[in-house]
Structure formats: C-alpha cells, structure tokens
Amino acid sequence: MQSSPATASVCVRRAETSDLDNLMALEQDAFDSDRMSRAQFRRHLDSDSAQVLIASAHHRRFLGAAVVFFRRGSRVARLYSLAGHLDGRGLGIGSALAAAVEVAARRRHCYALRLEVRGDNDRAIALYERLGYRRIGRLPAYYEDGADGWRYQKALE
C-alpha cells in the first residue's frame, strides 16, 4: 500500500500470528507504559472488530505496526496504536501505516478516524497534523503514568 513517494518502498500487510514476537518487541521498545499484552494482540489478530497491520521496507520484514478498532454500529474507527522502530525513521513507515488504516476504515464505511496521543509526543503530533488530523479535545491525566493526551480526528472522504 503506498501513499506518497516517501512511502513508495514501504509495504503494509495484515499481521499474522507468526508476527506476535515482533509485535511484542516493538510494543516494549515504543511505549514506556500503556502497553498491549501478548494475549491482547492475539485477540486482535483474530477479531472482526480490529485490524493489526505491519510495515516493512528495504528488505526489513518488520519496521512498524498499527492497530485500528471498529465498533459495531459506529462509523468512526479508532487508531489505537501506531509505532515504528527507530531504524525505520525517515522511511515513511508512519505515513504508510496511517494510509493503510484509512483504507481499512473506508472499506468498513467509516466516515472518520479518531486517535489519542500523548501531549508530550511531539513527533507523533506532527505526523498526525501533517496527515490532516485535527485536534478535537484535551485528555487530562489520560495515560497510565498521569500524562495528558490529545484527541484527534480526521474526516475520511
């Protein structure tokens, strides 16, 4: 799946059970708290209400992952998690995963995507804003460690 020249060499696919070890390693590397467990990932891999996507590039099989949730009866999808390996920075991994999530949401007839992001995650905030997400709310003490967050939304065409 491609979204721009910067992501031209990035391949995004649905995660499989064989990706669990890589998903867990990325989760440990990317997040200090609020991590998903192996059991949660396993459930999401087999769920109709979730999709787990992984990105690869330049012969590297696993450079990032995204998790998106779909709630029955809702036309708003939730980008629950987006994470990339440090050695994948600058390759368009985040943009490619976000584009793939948007495609998945459109296929389910969603009109919008929402997400939450730590207020101190400047890199992620810059990515989401560059991709057209708009800040729609503040989330005081939202994270496990008491950090504030922001809620963002993007309308899907």
pLDDT (tens digit per residue) in 42-56? 999 999 999 999 999
Distance in angstroms (rounded) separating the CA atoms of residues 80 and 68 = 5
- Kindly report the pTM of this predicted structure: 0.89
Domain ranges of the chain: 5-113
Distance in angstroms (rounded) separating the CA atoms of residues 155 and 112 = 4
Beta bridge partners of 60: 57
- The answer on pLDDT for 70 being more than 90 is yes
Of the candidates 118, 56, 117, 66, the one whose C-alpha atom is nearest the C-alpha of residue 87 is: 56
Distance in angstroms (rounded) separating the CA atoms of residues 149 and 146 = 9
The CATH-assigned architecture of domain 5-113 is 3-Layer(aba) Sandwich (3.40)
pLDDT (tens digit per residue) in 10-64? 999 999 999 999 999 999 988 888 899 999 999 999 999 999 999 998 777 789 9
Per-residue model confidence (pLDDT) at position 5: 41
Query: What stretch of H or E contains 136?
Result: strand 134-139
